[in-house]
Amino acid sequence: MKKTILISASILMFASSAFAQTLGSGTSTMNVTLSSGVTAAYTGSASGYVLTTVHSSGTFVFGTSSGDTRIWKSSNTGVALPSTPVGTASAGFTGDWKEQ
């Protein structure tokens, strides 16, 4: 439960205005400050985004997208990001991804 709350809080930080590290794909970028050892992957377009985070010594990847109201978890730390959704469609977290 603590991990879910921590990851949720980390993801919410992306909506904040005080950011330090730039993440981006294509023309979409955002600045964020992550905890020590945490990395994030982000892909985005004008119609949506996919965002995942993982700790360097962690065993899970957590992710969400602009079309999902849930946080997803994968035990495969090498899992690829789903495709960026269009509008309110889900990003398609399938396979090893489990709903939290």
44-90: pLDDT as tens digits: 888 888 888 888 898 899 999 888 889 999 987 778 788 888 878 88
Q: Where are the domains of the chain?
A: 2-99
Check: CB of residue 93 under 8 Å from CB of residue 79. no
What is the rounded distance in angstroms from the CA atom of residue 67 to the CA atom of residue 57?
A: 29
The residue count of the chain comes to: 100
- State yes or no: pLDDT of 1 exceeds 60: no
Taking the C-alpha atoms of residue 60 and residue 46, their distance in angstroms, rounded to an integer, is: 28
Tokens of 63: 């992710």
pTM for the full predicted model: 0.65
Tokens of 34: 């992550």
Instruction: Give backbone dihedrals phi and psi of 11, rounded to 5 degrees, phi first.
Output: -65, -40
Q: Which DSSP category does 79 fall into?
A: P
Contact 22, 30 (CB under 8 A): yes
> Quick one: pLDDT at residue 10?
62
CA–CA distance, 71 with 63 (Å, rounded to integer): 6
Q: What is the pLDDT of residue 91?
A: 86
